[in-house]
Amino acid sequence: MSKKEKVLDKKSKKAIEDIAMNGSINNSRKLNFDTSWQYAPAPESTDHFKLKKKYDLFINGKFVKPTDGKYYKTINPATTETLAEIAYGTDKDVDKAVKAARKAYNEVWSKLPRKEIAKYIYRIARLLQERSREFAVVETLNGGKPIRESRDIDIPLAAAHFFYNAGWADKLHYAFPGKSPQPLGVAGQVIPWNFPLLMAAWKIAPALATGNTVVIKPAETTPLTALLLAEVIQEAGLPDGVVNIVTGFGDTGAAIVNHPDVNKVAFTGSTKVGKIIQKALAGTEKKYTLELGGKAANIIFEDAPIDQAIEGVINGIFFNQGHVCCAGSRLLVQESVFKTVIKKLQDRIENLIVGDPMDKNTDIGAINSKMQLDKIKEYYEIGKSEGASSFQSSCNLPKKGFFFRPTLFWDVAQSHRVVQEEIFGPVLTIQTFRTVQEAIDKANNTAYGLSGGVWTDKGSKIFNVVNKIRAGVLWANTYNKFDPTSPFGGYKESGLGREGGLHGLTPYLKM
Ligand code: ADP
């Protein structure tokens, strides 16, 4: 027990004695110390699995060494310790992977009865569920997100995407009545680091269910769960070459996107890279979907259930350390409730537990990389230099690893960079509005159009506002709710195309 905990324990004991004797805590003492109790550490264990020292590329059903023999280290961002060495795939490796995917498509996958395809995808889903504890721990170790989130959201949702898409595999003619849906061939996919396994599932599950084969590249900082998924794919007995996983950096991704024998590109990542990909694909026959950045407005009207809205705003911006493209990173509050909201938000932020992602009580874990932490710190300085008022949690941050305090900015204008640009961290900007129209105008005054939230007691107001906000996903009196049956995607600089639901199948089909 630490010294601090001992002191707290003594104080709590005294407080309990007071309650027993007087029915309440002695008032003078109540003002002088914090009687709130601290959670004891509740770390998830890591003794139920063993990572390999080195991971090779997964091509044609086997783990193979990279052509150039290069590896890089992947770390735990909460401690900066190395977890494993990862193969750095080059364009030669990508070429091998695309050839394997093409052969698998021509010779096996496109010839299988559709219900056989469904069985393979179901198997992947079930194996993910069986190994879910291992997947959750590895996701948290490699990415820095709280174990509670990887355990309760990332891994179950990834399995759900495989289950959902498996269901469609032999029913495509019902999904698209009167049409004759056909696969495209080889899908080349590139994914980011914020939801490593979930993004792999979003990409691989619909591609397989529609009869395509896959070459996918996980993000450089978070390759481990994709490589565990390669093991699952082997265990599920998928024919060789149907799914190929090539690890590496941006150039590896570019090699997939630009490979002439790839029929469809699916990318999730930054708007900057999305634009490069869109330019590269212009004039080719490749189909593509781009799921890019966001700067979503979360709008609280004065008639909203405020405490519920506060929880939604906290979840909207601090879920996954704010590394979420659809994060509610701009809060718009009706002027009459601004003071109440900002006070409640500050109180709530003070109670968020920031620290060890492996602890089951942690609310905010580690920032994914040093590069991302530097970017967030830079935006913090930009916000202050632009004249914003700010508030940060007073919590202690771990000495090692990459951490950032949950942060609020207010007194900001629409033109401020912290209001306009995607920070991708635990930083919320707060603006006020007076009329419904002003809220809509401010919400739409962004280059992005991915998501948004509305908090109000009035159903009519919900329908009015959400219909006027140009964003792909809008939540009402909730935030950050995901479901494999529901399409997700953006407008404007947030990208194009939809993933999830029936809409998510069409980009993988010609009809
Ligand atoms: P972030 O800023 O969130 O890291 P990026 O867009 O840089 O997002 O990265 C998302 C994914 O895109 C990663 O897997 C990365 O390796 C890959 N990537 C980066 N540059 C390119 C590129 N020019 N072409 C294809 N993929 C790329």
Per-residue model confidence as pLDDT tens digits over 387-402: 999 999 999 999 999 9
* Res. 10 pLDDT band, cuts 50 70 90: low
Whether the predicted pLDDT of 25 surpasses 90: no
* Res. 143 pLDDT band, cuts 50 70 90: very high
Tokens of 249: 């950096």
Whether the predicted pLDDT of 139 surpasses 60: yes
pLDDT value of residue 278: 97
Mean pLDDT of 67-93: 98
pLDDT tens readout for residues 203-226: 999 999 999 999 999 999 999 999
pLDDT value of residue 8: 46
Phi-psi region of 356 (alpha: psi -120 to 50; beta: other; left: phi over 0): beta
Atom of ligand 1 nearest to the CA of 220: 16
Tokens of 371: 């590069």
Beta-carbon contacts of residue 136 (< 8 Å; ≥ 6 apart): 44, 147, 150, 151, 154, 155
How many whole angstroms separate alpha carbon 293 and alpha carbon 472? 12
How many whole angstroms separate alpha carbon 260 and alpha carbon 243? 18
pLDDT value of residue 36: 61
Q: Is 219 in the pocket of ligand 1 (CB under 6 A)?
A: yes
Q: Report the separation in Å between the CA atom of 320 and the middle of ligand 1, taken as the mean of its atom positions.
A: 19
Domains in the chain: boundaries: 54-292+494-510, 297-484
**Residue 429's beta-bridge partner residues?**
330, 409
How many whole angstroms separate alpha carbon 262 and alpha carbon 57? 19
CA-based R_g, the chain, Å: 24
Same fold, 54-292+494-510 and 297-484: no
Specify whether 325 is catalytic.
yes
In CATH, what is the architecture of 297-484? 3-Layer(aba) Sandwich (3.40)
pLDDT value of residue 302: 98
Q: Is 466 in the pocket of ligand 1 (CB under 6 A)?
A: no
Whose Cα sits closest to atom 11 in ligand 1? 192
pLDDT value of residue 38: 80
Q: Is 200 in the pocket of ligand 1 (CB under 6 A)?
A: no
pLDDT value of residue 37: 72
Helix axes 224-235, 196-209, angle to 10 degrees: 40
Whose Cα sits closest to atom 13 in ligand 1? 219
Q: How many CB atoms lie within 10 A of CB 107?
A: 12
* Res. 98 pLDDT band, cuts 50 70 90: very high
pTM value is 0.93
Specify whether 291 is catalytic.
yes
Q: Is 8 in the pocket of ligand 1 (CB under 6 A)?
A: no
3-state secondary structure 259-326: CCCCCEEEEECCHHHHHHHHHHHCCCCCEEEEECCCCCEEEECCCCCHHHHHHHHHHHHHHHHHCCCC
Whether the predicted pLDDT of 20 surpasses 70: no
Three-state DSSP at 451 gives strand
**Which uninterrupted H or E stretch holds 330?**
strand 330-334
Residue from 74, 190, 258 whose mutation best tests the ligand 1 pocket (most atoms within 8 A of CB): 190
From the candidates 139, 149, 220, 291, give the one annotated as an active-site residue: 291
pLDDT value of residue 29: 37
Residue from 199, 273, 321, 367 whose mutation best tests the ligand 1 pocket (most atoms within 8 A of CB): 273
Atom of ligand 1 nearest to the CA of 268: 10
Three-state DSSP at 366 gives coil
State the residue for tokens 């569920």.
Answer: 129
Asked if residue 332 lies in contact with residue 442, where contact means CB atoms within 8 angstroms, the answer is: yes
CATH code of domain 54-292+494-510: 3.40.605.10
pLDDT tens readout for residues 390-434: 999 999 999 999 999 999 999 999 999 999 999 999 999 999 999
